[in-house]
Every structure is written in C-alpha cells, then in structure tokens.
Structure 1
C-alpha cells in the first residue's frame, strides 16, 4: 500500500485560521498527509506545537537556511484555506516576500492541483484588482472556490470544513 498523498495547506490570517486543526483532522481522515505553511500573522494565531503534533510536521513560517533539509515532503496538491485579499493579490503579482507566497509561487509552476478558498470581506472583494487577479490565478490553473463557504459566520462548522474536504478530494491522486 502506498503512502497517503501530501497536501501542502497554506493558512492565512482570517477568522477560520485558529480552527484549522479541525480541518486537518478531517483531511487526515480523508486520506491526506497534511503539511501546514502559515503566513506570519496567521502563525501568531495558531497553536503551532499542537498542529505539529497533529500532522507530524512542523508548521512552517520562515524560510529554511541554505543547506538545511526540506522539513516537508513534496506536495501532491496544495490548498490555501483561508485565503486572504492580501495573499491572493500578492500571489497573482508574483510576490514572494513570505514563505507562504514563495511556496505558492513555486507550486504554481509545477502544475500540481491548487485549490483556494477565499475569506475576503465584501468591501475588499469589490476592489478593482481583486477579480482580475482571481482570473489570473484561474488562468494559471488554480481552482478558486468562491461564495460564502468561508465568509460567515466566523465560527467554522463541521459542515463548512467538510465542504472543503469534499472539494479537495478531487485533487487527491489515485492510489497505484
């Protein structure tokens, strides 16, 4: 039997972030090995030690030093949950000023499945660069899940997390 496929899960600073452990639990039950990468602000909201114990991998926030081993196995797919206005726009522009953005930019070039679940306030979603940047990411092969899945209420219910798991199931490679 082959090992479970690896999902690189990028977590941005939006209200669902502190409950990401619930999502990790559901993803693991669905057959994923989850490796977390957090934006610097999101990292300050997370219990990184508990999440590392849950996943078996450190929660990455900072770049590794040259020569240091890669702490996460290679990804089979990636997801950004929740994805913020800031991260989405910087990613579309090709910025790599955080580890999370650097990982997303590299993964975009691999052709691996990448799913994005935005959590963006309506006022920010109305900004003139937002929709064109989502189109740019879609044109690059990113699957953007829009709608109210992560928008409200602030408390994530098991049903909302289950919808994320269901959406990611299509990205999971088939066992060989």
Structure 2
C-alpha cells in the first residue's frame, strides 16, 4: 500500500501533540490516495478540518490553509529531496518546502523535518 494511503496514521499521531494539521500531497500521492477509494480524501479532510491540497491555487484564489509553524515531509523520497536541493518548484509540496527554507535562519520561519520512513 502506498504511504499516501496511510496518511491518516501520521495525522492522528501528530494530533496527539495538539498540532493543527494541514495536508499537502504531491500529484502522485494525491492520485494514490484517491484513485481506488475516493472517500479516503473526504476522511482526510474531516480528520484535519482543512482542504487537502495537491496543486497550486489560482493567483486570484484565497489561501485556505494557515501559515505553518513546522513542515513535516513524510515520506521524503530521493526525488523530492533532489528537487528541493536543486531549487525546483514544480509541485505545491516542493514549493512549500523551498519557501519555508528560504528564510531558515529566521527564528519565525517554519522548521522542516524530513523522514524517509512513513509515520
């Protein structure tokens, strides 16, 4: 089973820390999370209380997610890490990671944690 199909496990784990969770998925992870069981997406939205984003919003669109205090990249694949390190911003997830790390020296910038194993 692809890790994206187990996102609820990691969300519930971090909610025990009293974190407000928002979920952004790569296009592939979104497809894996919804292709066989479209109801899974509704469950993730209900669990987080926020829309699950997987693509950029329109420039005229409203930001629907709060600014993060931290970012957790699970499952950070070699592809994701390479794109992030090389400065690519071809997906919402990579762009979010890049934006958060641009001001990494700032005490108010979100902190980023990468893991190569599913939660």
The TM tier, using the shorter chain, reads 0.7 to 0.9
1:61 correspondence with 2:46: no
Runs of 4+ in 1 over 3 A off after TM superposition: none
Distance (Å, rounded) in 1 between the aligned partners of 2:42 and 2:100: 25
Q: Does the aligned pair in 2 maintain the 1:39–1:98 contact within 8 Å? A: yes
Q: Provide the residue aligned with 1:24 in structure 2.
A: 11
TM-score by length of 2: 0.84
Gaps of 5+ in 2: 34-39, 105-109
Counting only pairs closer than 5 Å after superposition, residues 35-50 of structure 1 correspond to structure 2 as 35-46=22-33, 47-50=40-43
Q: Provide the residue aligned with 2:112 in structure 1.
A: 114
Distance (Å, rounded) in 1 between the aligned partners of 2:97 and 2:41: 20
Counting only pairs closer than 5 Å after superposition, residues 1-176 of structure 1 correspond to structure 2 as 15-46=2-33, 47-111=40-104, 112-118=110-116, 150=117, 161=119
Q: CA deviation at 1:94?
A: 0.4
Q: CA deviation at 1:29?
A: 1.6
Greater CA drift, 45-54 or 32-41: 45-54
Q: CA deviation at 1:15?
A: 3.4
Gaps of 5+ in 1: 1-13, 119-149, 151-155, 162-176
Instruction: Please give the root-mean-square deviation of Cα atoms over the aligned residues, in Å.
Output: 1.5
Q: Does the aligned pair in 1 maintain the 2:2–2:32 contact within 8 Å? A: no
TM-score by length of 1: 0.58
Instruction: Decide which structure has greater strand share.
Output: 1
Distance (Å, rounded) in 2 between the aligned partners of 1:30 and 1:107: 21
Distance (Å, rounded) in 2 between the aligned partners of 1:45 and 1:21: 14
Distance (Å, rounded) in 1 between the aligned partners of 2:5 and 2:67: 25
Q: CA deviation at 1:79?
A: 0.8
Q: CA deviation at 1:17?
A: 2.4
